[in-house]
Structure formats: structure tokens, C-alpha cells
Amino acid sequence: MNMHSIRKAVAGAATFAAIAATPAMAQEGADFFNGKTVNYIVATAPGGGYDTNARLVAEFMQKYLPGSTFVVQNMPGAGNLIGANYVYASEPDGLTFGTFNTGLIYGQLAGDPAIKFDLGNMSWIGKVASDPRVMVVTKDSGIDSFEQLAASKEPVKFASAGVGSASTIETTMLVKALNLPVEIISGYNGGDDQLAMRRGEVQGIIASRSSFQDFVNEGNAKIIAQIGGSETDVPQLSALVGDKPDAQKVIALVASQSNISRLTAGPAGIPEDRLKALRDAYAKATTDPEFLKKAESLGLPVDPKVGDDVATVVKAALDQTPEIVSVLQETLKKD
């Protein structure tokens, strides 16, 4: 056999070995979870959109990782920082991962010293949805439009979650950039914000549309503006504020987060075969007909991405110009 033939034979054998090894490696990754307990960390309190999404995802990921047992653990506090820091510091064995809100992207951009993770380096498993932000006011507030809110002579109380959450950061940025007569009342987690709105403790909120659509449909409140998304039933906030460059930059930054919703990620360094098994289970879970039916019944939007597709979106969100970062830091300064 000549040298050319030998090289061809070696190359062919290597190709066959690679093809043959792929299913075995994938199987090895999935087999690891058989008989194991998987901890799915939810960085919010029970109730609310993140918790509901997490429990649905965990239920169906368990289905597609035979022999595994998923345990959902709520770990709220510090605007999702406690849960996210815990996930990032966990052993990268594939048995601990979770979900947290996109406000942490803002915190990382602004250099929050309490953040002990790098979102760009996490092991991204998937994301369930795209979900625009909306500005919602209660029926009893007497406010029917963004213009009325902006012209209010008295402060209007808006609910938000913990310090560092997307809710608090986005509300703070927008209130400062738009000079709105809004007093931010933080500390409403899970479904507490809607209860507070029903009780009249607060009159408004900036939140994900999916979390408040039913609340609005039930006649409790009205959406007066939307940020991001493709819906046309309410005006986009960017069209309501006129030629205000700084305000438009903040609105654009918030809008960029609308396609990164309900994330699932683990610590950096999960072994490749286990991460692939998790991503495969996630992909099957979020396209399962029963999952989709349950999501629809719960009013949860579904627009999934998996693995590197999510990592790419997250890294793009973190890749902001110094000008945008400066706007973010300036609007988050405490008075």
C-alpha cells in the first residue's frame, strides 16, 4: 500500500471513529443523570413568571433525562444576585443550574461589585421566551396614557422587585431618563406586585408583558406603553418621548433585553457531554406538544433558543459601547 493509500485509510478510519463516537458520547452524557438529583435554582420567590417558567422547564427536562429527579429551589434576594451567584459558584458537574432575570446584564455592565459571576462565561442551556417590557397603570390610578403619567402633578407610585433586579434597574433608568413623576417602591417579589396594585399601595409598574397580560385582561390595569416586541396594540415608548437622545438610548438598551427572557444557565466548565445532554433535553422539553399546551394555558410566551444561540445573544447584550455603559451608570447613580 502506498503512502497516499495509507493516508486515505487513516483519514477514513478517523472519520468513522468520530462518527461512531458521537452517539456514544451523547449517550454517556445523558446516562450521567440517571439516578441523580438535579438542582434547578430559581433566583426569585415562589409565584410570578420566572418561578412558573422554571417549574415547567424542570418538569419537562426531567422527562427527557430518564432516571433524573429535578428539585426546584427558590433562592430569592438582592435582585436575583443571591441565586445567580450561587449557580455560578456551584460545582460544574451539570447537577446545578437555574434561572434569573436579565437585570443582571445591566448590573454586570455597570460594574456592580456584588456580582460574583461573568454571564459571558456561563454554561448556557437555553431560554424559553422573548418578552417585551410594558408600562402598566392601575384602573384606579385615573391615568389613561403615557402623556397623562408624564404630566402628573403628584408622584405616582411604581412597584419594583429587589435592588439589582431588571424591574428596579429598568424602572430607575427610565424614570430618570424621561424625568417622570414616579416614586419607585421596591421589594415586591413574585406575585406581590399585582396584590399591591389591587390594594392600591402602588399605581403602576414596568414589567414583562407576559406577567401582566392576564392582570390587564381581567380589567385591573391598562398598558400605556411597550418597549420592544412586535405587538402593535399599544404604542412603543420610543415613539412617545420625541427627540431625546439619552432617553432613546436607555429605551433601546431596555428593548434589547426583550428577546432574552426566562434563561437557564449553569456555572462555567460543565463537561461538554453533560452540557450537550442538558441542551438536548432543554430543546426537546421546550418543543414538546404538552409543554406548549401547558405554557399556553398559563399565558407564558414561548420562543426558545438553545445553547450557543443563547450565549451569542447574551454576549451581544454585554457588548455595549462605552457611551451606552456611561448612560447606564449615570442613570443608576443614587441621588
**pLDDT tens-digit map of 288-320:** 999 999 999 998 889 899 999 889 888 888 888
Q: Is residue 267 part of a domain?
A: yes
Structural element, H or E, at residue 39:
strand 37-42
| 281 and 208 co-located in one domain | no
Do 164 and 104 meet the contact criterion of CB atoms below 8 Å apart? yes
Going by pLDDT thresholds of 50, 70 and 90, the confidence category of residue 252 is confident
Q: Which of 201, 228, 257 is the last residue of a domain?
A: 257
Residue 99 in grid coordinates? 434561572
Q: Which of 233, 257, 281 is the last residue of a domain?
A: 257
Backbone angles phi, psi at 184, to 5 degrees: -90, 125
**Per DSSP, what are the bridge partners of residue 37?**
69
Going by pLDDT thresholds of 50, 70 and 90, the confidence category of residue 332 is low
Residue 38 in grid coordinates? 438535579
**pLDDT above 90: residue 47:** no
Pairing, β 96-99 against β 37-42: parallel
**pLDDT above 50: residue 174:** yes
**pLDDT above 90: residue 229:** no
Helices within the chain (DSSP H only): 3-32, 48-63, 81-89, 103-110, 146-150, 166-178, 192-199, 209-217, 245-256, 272-285, 289-297, 308-318, 322-331
| 116 and 200 co-located in one domain | no
| 251 and 263 co-located in one domain | no
**pLDDT above 90: residue 163:** no
| 122 and 267 co-located in one domain | yes
Q: Is residue 240 part of a domain?
A: yes
Q: Is residue 196 part of a domain?
A: yes
Do 181 and 157 meet the contact criterion of CB atoms below 8 Å apart? no
Count the domains in the chain: 2
Residue 317: predicted pLDDT:
83
CATH number, domain at 232? 3.40.190.10
Going by pLDDT thresholds of 50, 70 and 90, the confidence category of residue 28 is confident
| Domain ranges, residue 100 | 33-129+259-321
| 72 and 93 co-located in one domain | yes
Across residues 33-49, what is the average pLDDT? 94
Residue 97: which residues within 8 A CB-CB, separation 6 or more? 38, 39, 40, 41, 87, 90, 123, 125, 264, 265, 266, 267, 270, 278
Distance CA 43, CA 251 (A): 25
Residue 19: predicted pLDDT:
36
Q: Is residue 330 part of a domain?
A: no
| 165 and 194 co-located in one domain | yes
Q: How many CB atoms lie within 10 A of CB 85?
A: 20
CATH number, domain at 306? 3.40.190.150
Going by pLDDT thresholds of 50, 70 and 90, the confidence category of residue 48 is confident
Q: Is residue 186 part of a domain?
A: yes
| 251 and 155 co-located in one domain | yes
Lowest mean pLDDT among 55-59, 79-83, 244-248: 244-248
| 143 and 167 co-located in one domain | yes
Percent of the chain scoring above 90 in pLDDT:
59
Q: Is residue 76 part of a domain?
A: yes
Residue 218: predicted pLDDT:
96
In sequence order, what DSSP letters do the residues of 248-279 get, joined into one string? HHHHHHHHHTTTSEEEEEE-TT--HHHHHHHH
| 232 and 304 co-located in one domain | no
Residue 201 in grid coordinates? 399601595
Q: What is the mean pLDDT of the chain?
A: 87
Q: Is residue 251 part of a domain?
A: yes
| 253 and 154 co-located in one domain | yes
Q: Is residue 7 part of a domain?
A: no
Across residues 139-157, what is the average pLDDT? 97
- Identity of the residue numbered 217: N
Across residues 261-268, what is the average pLDDT? 93
| 142 and 252 co-located in one domain | yes
| 169 and 54 co-located in one domain | no
- Identity of the residue numbered 117: F
Residue 181: which residues within 8 A CB-CB, separation 6 or more? 149, 150, 152, 153, 154, 155, 156
Residue 210: predicted pLDDT:
83
Backbone angles phi, psi at 143, to 5 degrees: -100, 130
Going by pLDDT thresholds of 50, 70 and 90, the confidence category of residue 228 is confident
Q: Which of 257, 283, 306 is the last residue of a domain?
A: 257
Residue 331: predicted pLDDT:
65
Q: How many CB atoms lie within 10 A of CB 234?
A: 18
Distance CA 70, CA 58 (A): 6
